[in-house]
Amino acid sequence: MELLGESSLGFDRRGLADIMASFEAGRAGWRPVWALAVLALWMERRRVGARTVAVEG
């Protein structure tokens, strides 16, 4: 989730922390957290891939 907060996609770091806190307290469902986690994993994979290409290329 930290990667989303640091991205230029417009995510507010405090808002992401609030979603996680709500989920952990049982006030938010798993779907929004799952969707954000998948997006963060995708972004991390792209970032790692970009570094690999830059090093090899």
* 18 token code pair: 């609030």
Is the whole model's pTM more than 0.75, yes or no?
Answer: no
Domain locations in the chain as residue ranges:
2-56
Residue length of the chain: 57
11 SS3 class: coil
Q: DSSP secondary-structure letter at 10?
A: -
* Interval 8-55: pLDDT, tens: 777 888 888 888 899 999 998 999 889 988 988 888 888 766 665 555
Whole-angstrom Cα distance, residue 49 to residue 25? 35
Task: Check: CB of residue 1 under 8 Å from CB of residue 16.
Answer: yes
Whole-angstrom Cα distance, residue 27 to residue 4? 21
